[in-house]
Amino acid sequence: MISRGEVHGGNRKAIIAGFFMYTIIIVAIIILAFTSIIPWWQAVPFVLLFSFLIFRPLIKALKEQEPQLIGKAVKAGVLALIVFDASLATVFA
């Protein structure tokens, strides 16, 4: 969703939609952490790290909408999948 504006920039709707999708994913992981057997605080560090890795470049891309910043947001999203997997593994451990 976010990579739609990576070449030309200026696709604000796609970035905002991606922002809300990330938010829904983070809320879902937090709900899973609170309903899981494990203590919820074990998943929180991974969720916080995931949020930091995702939202910092995404907010910069949302403000300026330049192709380079959107590319960095896409790259951060791909690299943050590792932390996302760690947070899911913690919730379902």
Instruction: Provide the residue ranges of all domains of the chain, joining segments of one domain with +.
Output: 2-91
* pTM for the model: 0.84
The tens digit of pLDDT for each residue in 27-80 reads 999 999 899 888 888 889 999 999 999 999 999 988 988 888 888 999 999 999
From the DSSP assignment, how many helices (H) and strands (E) are in the chain? 4, 0
CA atoms 88, 14, 78, 69: torsion sign: negative
